[in-house]
Structure 1
């Protein structure tokens, strides 16, 4: 168990699941997945101080997910295991020739419905109060009443709030947006619902356009950043998560990681670092293929090279 720290780089919660990867019809790997899982475990492997706050089952899958965080070096004391609950599973189907992937919550052999993700509740929130009040950055990709409270605790502690929703909970979203520092979302999926809201907010936005690239926005100001070319495309899954990993790592590397005084031009170094990491990751199957097939020092070299091109 990692000892108590006065300051934590990242506290995060959200979609963390067991990702069952089928490549060209055959089971190729089982690993921690989901945007929250991918981002947090990648940052832990990069030796950032990472504290996941999660609610999992007291089952073999929960044990596997916990072990991946522990091996990466994350502080796992706030990963709660509940008897009678089943930990979540997601199936990914990959066609390695085209790089196309799809997702399902159904077993391809038995057609059984996999257990779904469940957000943290009051118990998990209360246990993590000290961590939330002392983190540099809070990450989430989901909303619930308890997650919104966690965001607020981190925000009032001075943390950067990094939020990348996959859909919109209208009952909670406006409150979350009001305290969000960086909002990352897909133009295709959420642009029609979010563009006007985000333009009227104080949040800096990263709006993704798939293989074309992404746009940084703040109010009505916009900067386009074309995608970094991938040398080989085996699997595009996890590309967006790698962009977040690169940007968050860049923010944490700054002498003063708070966003005060920064604008979207200043974020370009972190965004480009993430785009370069995403391009490298496309060559390998799985959302974190570059971490598994190359070593962490190689990943760090990609990020450091981008940082030299865009010094802080």
Structure 2
């Protein structure tokens, strides 16, 4: 394995899935892209120039192979994507529609629309993977987790000991004990008010949390920090104006990636040196990425639609308060279809 020493490195484990995105035009081809919170964040970090290492249990099924091809497209490293025991890669169907007022809405489907069987769901990496991965964590800047498991906690703890920032982005409290253990390790805790209105008081007692972020959808976010050694009051940042409003899915993942790309490249040492002005700048960059993402279908649709220089130009326009109102799309080939594992081979899951 070859690891670059020039780029900051992020490792992560959690929900890494195949997203099947059905757009407003249901007759258009279904997009199949890497998805899940962890999958999105690490893919975006690769897009932003980091060395990203997802940790997963892909078994070589069609969904996992489609995810691996997509990850490789964005220079994400595949070294730890087939940890034993392997299993089916989760499949999530995202269906985008318009509400009566014309605003975009989306829902997630967890069952195959053809055979009615439940699609493959998330299964965490096991302790079998820990010893293999621990040596690679030395020098990592960030460790990301969005689901708790014994192995995820073990890896996060090792990364923290090696000087990495641990960011915990929970979607719920599936296991209270492991959830609390994650809060005892995490330096950044970020959660949505729509999914988890209370993360359990991330800054109470002797927890190492330096930054707690609660996202508020169209209202922006609020945060508090412990950069000066004691918890600050909650502070709010309104959302930045989006150039277009097509789909909000994945915007929180872009916000996370923007924050990390700006403030976390030197690991824990770097974030301990940041001042409040630097923190606000990092959060605003994350919000600019989130606003930009709203202009495209799917959690990362803009990555496939725009050239990188156009992406940078539009982000700067959003940060300047002058969001561009048009999208210069590039052509791209439709992705190969992926079948539900329970369906006959000739029947597609979407």
CA apart distance, 1:85: 2.7
Moved more, 42-51 or 22-31: 22-31
**Corresponding residue for 1:3?**
2
Which of 179, 182, 187 is the matching residue for 1:176? Answer: 182
- Structure with the higher strand share, 1 or 2: 1
**1:133-144 matched pairs, under 5 angstroms:** 133-144=138-149
CA apart distance, 1:9: 1.5
Confirm or deny that 1:187 pairs with 2:193: yes
**1:188-227 matched pairs, under 5 angstroms:** 188-194=194-200, 196-200=201-205, 201-203=207-209, 204-218=211-225, 219-227=231-239
Classify the secondary structure of the residue corresponding to 1:56.
coil
**Corresponding residue for 1:39?**
41
Confirm or deny that 1:276 pairs with 2:288: yes
Q: Aligned residue pairs: how many?
A: 307
Moved more, 154-163 or 246-255: 246-255
**Corresponding residue for 1:13?**
13
Hey, what's the Cα distance between the residues in 2 that align with 1:239 and 1:255?
A: 24
Which of 46, 51, 54 is the matching residue for 2:53? Answer: 51
Moved more, 123-132 or 202-211: 123-132
CA apart distance, 1:213: 0.6
Contact 2:54 2:77 in 1 (8 A): yes
**Corresponding residue for 2:114?**
109
CA apart distance, 1:254: 6.1
Q: Evaluate the alpha carbon distance shift between residue 305 and residue 124 of structure 1 in structure 2; reply closer, same or farther with a 3 A threshold.
A: farther
**Corresponding residue for 1:238?**
250
* TM-score where L is the length of structure 1: 0.89
**Corresponding residue for 1:286?**
298
* TM-score where L is the length of structure 2: 0.80
Q: Evaluate the alpha carbon distance shift between residue 210 and residue 199 of structure 1 in structure 2; reply closer, same or farther with a 3 A threshold.
A: farther
Hey, what's the Cα distance between the residues in 1 that align with 2:188 and 2:320?
A: 23
5+ long unaligned stretches in structure 2: 226-230, 322-350
CA apart distance, 1:199: 4.8
Show CA shifts across 1:129-154 (max 9, x none).
12223201111111100000000000
5+ long unaligned stretches in structure 1: none
Q: Evaluate the alpha carbon distance shift between residue 222 and residue 263 of structure 1 in structure 2; reply closer, same or farther with a 3 A threshold.
A: farther
Classify the secondary structure of the residue corresponding to 1:221.
coil
CA apart distance, 1:191: 2.0
CA apart distance, 1:15: 0.4
Show CA shifts across 1:72-125 (max 9, x none).
112211111668732210111111542111112111222221011111112222
CA apart distance, 1:28: 2.8
Q: Evaluate the alpha carbon distance shift between residue 237 and residue 81 of structure 1 in structure 2; reply closer, same or farther with a 3 A threshold.
A: same
- Structure with the higher helix share, 1 or 2: 1
Classify the secondary structure of the residue corresponding to 1:249.
helix
Show CA shifts across 1:252-306 (max 9, x none).
4569863213355531111101111111110110101221111223334456678
